[in-house]
Structure 1
Amino acid sequence: MKGFSLTRIAAVLVKEFTQLRRDRITYAMILVMPLMQLLLFGYAINTDPRHLPAAVVSHDHGRFANALVATLERTSYVDVRHLPASEDEMDGLLRRGEISLALTIPPDFTQRVLKGDRAQILAEVDATDPTAAGGVATAVASLPANALRQELKGVAAKPTNAPPFEVVVHRLYNPEGITSYNIVPGLLAIILSMTLVMMTAMAVTREVERGTMESLLSMPATAFEVMIGKLLPYVAVGILQTIVVLTLARLLFAVPMAHTLAGWVALSTGIVLFITGNLALGYCISTVVRSQLQAMQISMFYMMPSLFLSGFMFPFQGLPGWAQVIGEVIPITHFLRIIRGSLLKGQVLADMGTDLVALCGFLIVVTVLTIARSRTTLD
């Protein structure tokens, strides 16, 4: 039996550091993952979202109406970013998810306040995300007590404890604030991304490790044809996963489904684009890594910002500006809007245009990169 040797230990130690230095992806994961977690949890995560977008249609242009809007913005919960010309235009903004609050001030608001005649305003809140809806509802609920405090003086002031006006709050799309209506559809995006990206990346990498991928690319088929042939079976897997998740969402959690053929067409289009984009990303990852372990590491690295910056766990509009910019690049962000919009809001293709274009753009960019990498590394 050999005795204890510091020299042999040092030799093994040097060997391990050398191997770690050569495995740059693993080394990067060790350094970058904690840094990303620190930045995301420290700066981007916000359980009390502020500055959510709002729209106001005011049929009363008096100082009381102006003071009401100014007080609403001072709450910091919402920012009035849209002044639509009509209720129909404002409803479209709400249905497409561009605003979280739609405030309507009637034409007789000032007159009713001065008369003490039960003045009312209408606040329609997008309740698809109960967390964001709660903050918005709190902001509008405080308006009667604070909005007209400076304006109601002298004769206009009433010697009564009753507020000068009332806010009628309508929670749209999820009036009961059921969390599962928001979370369960979002889980479909996470499940598809986590399984399809990692499954494709590891499967193709396994073929590269075994040398069978080079054999495929040495045949008359082009790199693009090989990519299509390898991904099509996984498209079927993704569609099967989608059917199972949506079926269970309906049976177990009573999640609303699309009510019209146009709604199902829109949802199906988004699903196919999202599945294909995830598979293309997994294939692209396989052209960068050298082992299945690296493929799994990069797939998990991709999932972290997808979870936190897409609007799945925290309201997207409540994220800081830089986090929203990153989130707009992530396909999960757009698919979440599509599936929640289709199931909860009855959106159709016309309402999803921006998000569908984003998914198409992601698919095209990733496919081009994958083909370029395939030719460089395996031809």
Structure 2
Amino acid sequence: MSGLSAVRIWAVLVKEFKQLTRDRLTYAMILALPIVQLILFGYAINTEPRHLPTAVLVQEDSVLARSTLAAMTNSGFFDIERTARTPAELDALIRRGEVQFGVTIPGDFTRRVARGDRPQILVEADATDPSATGGAAAALAALPAHALAHDLKGALAQRGLSQAPFEVVVHRRYNPAAVTAYNIVPGLLGVILSMTLVMMTALSVTREAERGTMESLLATPVEPIEVMIGKLAPYVLVGLAQTVIVLTLARLLFGVPMAGGWIGLTLGVSLFIVGSLALGFLISTVARSQLQAMQMSVFYILPSILLSGFMFPFHGMPAWAQAIGQVIPVTHFLRIVRGALLKGLEAHEMWRELTALAAFVCVVTALAMARYRRTLD
């Protein structure tokens, strides 16, 4: 047995580099994945979200009320985007997740401040994600001490030195104890279904193409849609079984509340399972090997975990990251699951998310069929 040869090692090295550059998709994934990770973790992820969407119900349009809202905005945690006209409208905005906070200023706010009665301002927080509201709720503790500093004059100013002119009452809705598991465990359903269904389908179909069994299937008079339904139907049952297992364990092990909304949840789960399987089928029509199928699946799953609101607060991300997150189906699925389990939202209250998932299913299925039909041709 001869010793090491630098020439032979160099020859193998050159051959491997040529093979790598010949597989352009794998080469692109190797270069793109670290860039995507760097951008997402460096720019998009924020563990202390600011500029959270806020709605206000101002029952008294006065200088003191406006100063209080201005102080909240200047804190950097609240962006007043909506103005409610009734308590029911404010409740609906928070319930549907359109705003993170709802602020109610009572109608006798100025009069009670002048009398030294220390009126209360109610701040309702959507606490389904405790990490999204923790910093903002803490900032509210300092609000009464300085919000009206420039408005209170004379005796009112002297009184304000001894005690705050008003109080802020924070009501954490849907998760008052700030239990992290109530947010993470329901969200895991979307991540688990994405990881298993997309990757399993992509690898399964690509494996058949590598083994040559797909060629035999292509030689039959089976239509593309028939092939797709036949291959994906077993995995639909797998996805439904996973859903039942996750929800059962979420209740038994973590005590996740089951507030209701079962019709909307069932529709959301069904659409998400079908869409994930169709996406896996689409990936399999593009990938030429199981390695490529796995790489493309990971390239989809990584942003789904980071930009969907599963690990980090959605409203804490910059606008461009939120725009990308709105395109990711996991984002809408997580809102459906958390909305149904924690808030008891009905199907008609989640129509935006259900419509987004339905559009995802239609687009991905059409693309998969078009790609598969070209393969047949």
TM-score (norm 2): 0.97
**Residue equivalent to 2:121:** 121
Q: Conserved in 2, the CA contact under 8 Å of 1:223 and 1:371?
A: yes
Is the 1:217–1:226 Cα contact (8 Å) retained in structure 2? no
Distance 2:224 2:144 in 1: 65
| Contiguous gaps of at least 5 residues in structure 1 | none
Q: In the TM superposition, what whole-angstrom CA distance separates every residue of 1:30-62 from its partner, at most 9, and x where no partner exists?
A: 111111111011101101001110000001101
Q: Map of 1:1-379 to 2, 5 A cutoff?
A: 1-2=1-2, 4-159=4-159, 160-259=161-260, 263-379=261-377
Q: Please list every run of at least 4 consecutive aligned residues from structure 1 whose deviation after the TM superposition is greater than 4 angstroms.
A: none
Quote how far apart the aligned CAs of 1:3 are: 5.0
Does structure 2 conserve the Cα–Cα contact (< 8 Å) formed by 1:125 and 1:136?
A: no
Checking the alignment, whether the CA contact within 8 Å between 1:124 and 1:170 is kept in structure 2 is yes
Secondary structure at 1:257 match in 2:
coil
C-alpha deviations, 1:266-302, integer Å up to 9, x for none?
1000000011111001000000111111111111111
Which amino acid in the other structure matches residue 248 of structure 2?
T
Does the Cα contact within 8 Å between 1:208 and 1:214 map onto a contact in 2? yes
Q: Distance in 1 between matches of 2:333 and 2:207?
A: 29
Q: How many positions carry a matched residue from both structures?
A: 376
Separation in structure 2 between the aligned mates of residue 241 and residue 4 of structure 1, nearest angstrom: 52
Cα displacement (A) at 1:215: 2.2
1:278 alignment partner AA: S
Q: Which amino acid aligns with 1:210?
A: R
Instruction: Please give the alpha-carbon distance, in whole angstroms, between the structure 1 residues aligned to 2:296 and 2:178.
Output: 36
CA distance in 2, matches of 1:134, 1:231: 42
Q: Distance in 2 between matches of 1:217 and 1:4?
A: 48
Deviation at 1:375?
1.4
CA distance in 2, matches of 1:16, 1:169: 62
Change (3 A) 1:375 1:62: same
C-alpha displacement at 1:8, in angstroms?
2.3
Q: Report the Cα distance in structure 1 between the residues aligned to 2:215 and 2:268, rounded to whole angstroms.
A: 33
Q: Give the secondary structure class of the aligned counterpart of 1:103.
A: strand
Secondary structure, counterpart of 1:351 in structure 2 = helix
> Secondary structure in 1 aligned to 2:286?
coil
Please state how far the C-alpha of 1:10 moved relative to its aligned partner.
Answer: 2.4
1:214 CA displacement: 2.6
Q: Which string of whole-angstrom CA distances, capped at 9 and with x for unpartnered residues, describes residues 193-236 of structure 1?
A: 00100000000001111222232233222111110111111000
TM, length-normalised to structure 1: 0.97
Structure 2 segments unaligned to the other structure (5+ residues): none
